[in-house]
Structure 1
């Protein structure tokens, strides 16, 4: 299968897989069967495989140009990706009850860590990745791909924040979020948050390694060089 058919099928498969967490009975059965850690590993692996399939399918779809690729747009991707990877590296598994990739244990509202920078670091990372690639790739398949990620990530960010507010209630939300912000650097610029510890060097090393791997493997794996 190739062309638009594969791209549509990959898109439906990716969307269907991400509907699983919103199905309590199905997710509960999977967690009971695999264990919490096994569920996380299995879902992360499935998501990664389907994402790569979707990206490859977009590359194999018929090329329909909507706007040309410009050098400045490729530079934009090269500036955005290190920021996105840093956000993802410091967000995944960090004490941060606001984000789905964070953990509730160990969170101190007075010392919110990465949540002081932004409550949704991974979603902002995805938004940066998708938004920059949307601008740089002007063919129809990639506009659909990255445009969908940009729209759904932005909408998902608002929906997740609203759900947390409802679940916790106004008073608990205010207590937990007093020194945080949704918009990156907003709490820092307003004076509501001041970093009280140096960032983890291990997470910085992970970010550098991931950036290097993505940069140098982009051409042989994706088929397009990231160089402007």
Structure 2
């Protein structure tokens, strides 16, 4: 369990220290922006791998027993998490994490961003909160609590960074038809859910099906009740 605690501490530090602007600016001046981003990316990947290995090797220490109802929670929540994850990575989004070209983002047709401007981070949060009740051991509690913390605090941190990068006027214009909290902009009449696209829905449900099929083989436990 000590290894998992150490990995969690390093994970938090790798996200907290760069958020301290004077230190980040000093590192960029010393290393150059390209080298800083490269080294930080490599370090982040290494820490995530360490976290996964430490979690898989942590001893099982039961804290609570879950009832049959708990198995239904991830089954019902994960389809939405998968849709947000696939849509968030596949569609342009200058306001948050995405693998697509941010310059192609259209605020009048924002796609998955109409649901939330941080779909990838909310996908992680939904994954974490849906898996907490069904994993009643100490290692899972630490791991999923960390991911839930990331899901809850990440959007605010990213909002600040993207707003500083884009400028107030551009950020306000691009975010006018979306919200941090999923569906809040839709409830307020600022967003339309039409045009989310085929890729998020088909890709997300396909990913969900794949996770169901591989869960027992990879994790060792069936996700089905």
Please classify the TM superposition score into its range, dividing by the shorter chain length.
0.7 to 0.9
Aligned residue for 1:136, secondary structure, equals coil
Equivalent pair of 2:111/2:196 in contact (CA under 8 Å): no
The one of 68, 72, 77 equivalent to 2:69 is: 72
2:81 paired with 1:84: yes
- Alignment partners' CA distance in 2, 1:214 and 1:111: 30
Give 1:218's match in structure 2, choosing from 184, 208, 215. 215
Q: Aligned pair count?
A: 215
CA deviation map 1:109-129 (0-9, x unaligned): 222222111100000000000
Q: Secondary structure at the match of 1:135?
A: coil
Report if the CA contact (8 A) 2:116-2:182 is conserved.
Answer: yes
Query: Structure 1 213/118 Cα, relative in aligned 2: closer, same or farther at 3 Å?
Result: same
SS in 2 for 1:96: coil
**How far 1:78 sits from its partner (Å)?**
0.8
The counterpart of 2:129, out of the listed 128, 131, 136, is 131
Normalising to structure 2: TM-score of the pair? 0.79
- 2:151 maps to 153
* Separation (CA, whole Å) in 1 of partners of 2:142 and 2:200: 32
Change over 3 Å in CA distance of 1:26–1:150 after alignment to 2: farther
Q: 1:205, CA displacement in angstroms?
A: 2.9
**How far apart are 1:213 and its partner, in Å?**
1.8
* SS of 2:103 mapped into structure 1: coil
Find out whether 1:108 has 2:114 as its counterpart: no
SS at match of 2:132: helix
The match for 1:98 is 95
- Root mean square deviation, CA, Å: 3.1
How many Å separate the matches in 2 of 1:195 and 1:155?
25
TM-score by length of structure 1 reads: 0.78
Separation in 1, partners of 2:66, 2:56: 15
| Pair 1:205-2:211 in alignment | no
Task: Tell me by how many angstroms 1:169 deviates.
Answer: 3.3
Change (3 A) 1:86 1:198: closer
CA gap of 1:7–1:32, structure 2 versus 1, over 3 A, is closer
Q: Is the 8 A contact 2:216 2:222 kept in 1?
A: yes
